[in-house]
Amino acid sequence: MKKLVIFFIILFTFDLKANDVQIIEEVLGNGLEVTNHSKVSVHYIGRLEDNNEFDNSYKRNQPFQFQIGVRQVILGWETGLLGMKEGGKRKIFIPYKLAYGESGAGNLIPPKSNLIFEIEILKVSPPKYKQLDSYQLKLAISDESFIILDIRNLQERNKSGTIPGSVLLTAFDSEGNFLPKFLDSYQEIIKPGDKVIFVSEEGIISSVLANGFSEQLNQINIYNLKDGIKGLEKIGFEFEKN
């Protein structure tokens, strides 16, 4: 559990700015799509703005493997690969703030270097957890084998109301800090193998938790409400008012 706590603390100290990554060229693939928390295998060429090449996985004949959305790569890659498909290629421009920042990286990448990457998607593996849309959540409510876990804070719940029958267990405080006691409370409520649906305001934070439980703790039967409470509001879902 300690490892998972550290994982969440590190993960939520970053501010991802997706709009700063620019797609220069693209060849569309036709395989599985890269989504948040996909595991991917890629080949790539990295260049500085002056076209000086600093890295090339083709020359090493060694594809690079990592998971999207868990900060295993620079921030520009986290969003720059989303939407690509197996067999696809994309050339992206990444500003230095989403690359190696003010300091650069060793002797190869100077400080404040904007980078250009050519990336080829070789293989995509979906996350271990499953995504549910708003209509599937409505069906899950009538299935007693599912536990719907609302991880939002009190202010968020008071604003919209809650899903009838859901378990209320706050994972983050109002400032976005992960609450370590959440894990102990979770273990008291949830048994190994239970089917758990994580619910947050927009489905983003809950997807991180779902991925953490699937990857770090090897939990099975983990689900995430894709668009969160906001998605339910769009379909006119009737919430329970406190």
DSSP class per residue in 183-223: HHHHHHHPPTT-EEEEE-SSSHHHHHHHHHHHHTS--SSEE
The rounded distance, in Å, linking the Cα atoms of 99 and 180 is: 30
Average pLDDT of the residues of the chain: 91
Point out the residues of the chain with pLDDT beneath 70: 1-19
List the one residue out of 101, 94, 107, 103 whose CA is nearest residue 47: 94
2-125 shares its CATH topology with 130-234: no
Partners of 123 in beta bridges = 41
Return d(Cα 67, Cα 70) in angstroms, integer: 7
- Over the stretch 21-37, which tens digit does the pLDDT of each residue have? 999 999 999 999 999 99
- Residue 3 confidence (pLDDT): 53
Instruction: Please state the pTM of the whole predicted model.
Output: 0.83
Summarize the chain as % helix, strand, coil (round to 5).
30, 30, 45
Torsion on CA atoms 166, 169, 175, 179, rounded to nearest 10: -160
Give me the pLDDT at residue 4, please.
Answer: 55
Q: Secondary structure of 102-134 in the HEC alphabet?
A: CCCECCCECCCCCEEEEEEEEEEECCCCEEECH
Domain ranges of the chain: 2-125, 130-234
Interacting residues of 112 by C-beta distance below 8 A, sequence separation 6+: 96, 101, 102, 104
CATH class of 130-234: alpha beta
Whole-Å CA distances, 236 to 62, 102, 157 = 50, 47, 16
How far apart CA 238 and CA 162 sit, in angstroms, is: 9
Write down the pLDDT at residue 9: 44
Q: Give the architecture-level CATH label for domain 2-125.
A: Roll (3.10)
The per-residue pLDDT for range 193-213, each reduced to its tens digit, is 999 999 999 999 999 999 999
